[in-house]
Amino acid sequence: MDYAPLLKEIGRGARGARDLTREQARGLFAALLDGTVPDLERGAILIAMRIKGESLDELLGFVEAMQTGAARVAAPAGPRTVVLPTFNGARKQANLMPLVAMLLAREGIPVLIHGRHDFDSRISPFELFEALALPVAQDVDEAGRRLASDRLAILPTEVIHPGLDAMMSLRPRMGLRNSSHSVAKLLDPLPGRSVRVVAVTHPEYVDSMGEALPRLSADDGRALLMRASEGEAYLHLRRKAHLQGFANGQGLDLNPASNEDLDWALSPACEPEANADFIRTILAGSEPLPPRIADQISALRRLATA
């Protein structure tokens, strides 16, 4: 592939750049995932896309390339499997993404968590999983068995898609995220049997993902677009909920009827053991379930069982 003509299109800055076609985007991202793009061109492409931002056709093409190379996990019978990505970890407050997963699993709704961690300034979610005695599966077969038996499985993103994980691993070296971090939120190892949870932080990604998800869910798909808390897939406990569902290409407003900012205490329990203890107290009923977590569970229950 000749990358110079593509770079000439996407490398002219936020205002001067031209978007790739969906077919061009699919071919380019496939080459990036395969690791066949030379280092110089790869860095130029990733920085150009970071500055320009992904158009709808580019995002859809990237997702198609990613899904082609993604491993599949066997979906258990019953409700759809909720797919929770985790790429950030705790910073100032307890990470309650595992609480969401454990509450859903307790109801019989299967949950697959996948992720990676390379933030020195944050607490790794994988350390939190260990503190919660939640094992990480070594391959997709083990993950499928755990979904069937325990209703909860955890996989490193590397197991599902090594090429995607390798692209994401460039962040510390380059100092910036790249398109793979956005596309990874849309990774679906159980197509047709999943509820993809797409948790975003910045408003522009709410718009771009909201435009893409009707198309990505059109073929009997389900997804939940939500505002992340510290980059993780659980609602901020104090802020208004943002819960937009997608089913068969149609948007669903899944926000609670009363949706205002809340006066709710935030736990500073970031360290793995303290965070795990806090989650256990909520599961045991010793601490109240935060209303925003209940709202998120309700939305995911509806999507998984509809």
Q: What is the pLDDT of residues 122-135, one digit of tens each?
A: 899 999 999 999 99
For residue 120, pLDDT over 80 is answered with: no
CATH code of the domain made up of 81-305:
3.40.1030.10
Structure confidence by residue, pLDDT tens digits, 231-263:
999 999 999 999 999 999 999 999 999 899 999
The first and second tokens of residue 299, run together, are 């939305």
The CATH number of 3-68 is which of 1.20.970.10, 3.30.565.10, 1.10.10.1200, 1.10.3470.10?
1.20.970.10
Can you tell me the mean pLDDT for 264-274? 94
Contact 79, 104 (CB under 8 A): no
Nearest-CA neighbor of 180 among 282, 35, 288? 35
Nearest-CA neighbor of 57 among 20, 28, 85, 111? 20
Residue spans of the domains in the chain: they are: 3-68, 81-305
Residues of the chain with pLDDT > 70, as a percent, come to 100
96 by DSSP, 3-state: which? coil
**Distance in angstroms between the alpha carbons of the first and the last residue of the chain:** 44
Gap between the Cα atoms of 48 and 209, Å rounded: 20
**pLDDT band at residue 118, thresholds of 50, 70 and 90?**
confident
Q: Spell out where the chain has E strands.
A: 81-86, 111-115, 152-156, 194-200, 222-227, 243-247, 250-253
Predicted local confidence at residue 45, as pLDDT: 97
The strand pairing partners of 125, in sequence order, are none
What length does the chain have?
A: 306
Contact 33, 65 (CB under 8 A): yes
Q: Are strands 243-247 and 250-253 parallel, antiparallel or unpaired?
A: antiparallel
Can you tell me the mean pLDDT for 28-35? 98
What would you measure as the largest C-alpha separation in the chain, in angstroms?
61
Structure confidence by residue, pLDDT tens digits, 101-113:
999 999 999 999 9
Gap between the Cα atoms of 266 and 23, Å rounded: 45
Predicted local confidence at residue 228, as pLDDT: 93
Determine the distance from the C-alpha atom of residue 230 to the mean position of all C-alpha atoms in its chain, rounded to a whole number.
Answer: 13
Same-fold call for 3-68 versus 81-305? no
Nearest-CA neighbor of 182 among 75, 15, 71, 61? 61
Structure confidence by residue, pLDDT tens digits, 156-199:
999 999 999 999 999 999 999 999 999 999 999 999 999 999 99
The first and second tokens of residue 45, run together, are 């492409």
- The H or E element that residue 98 is part of is helix 97-106
pTM equals: 0.96
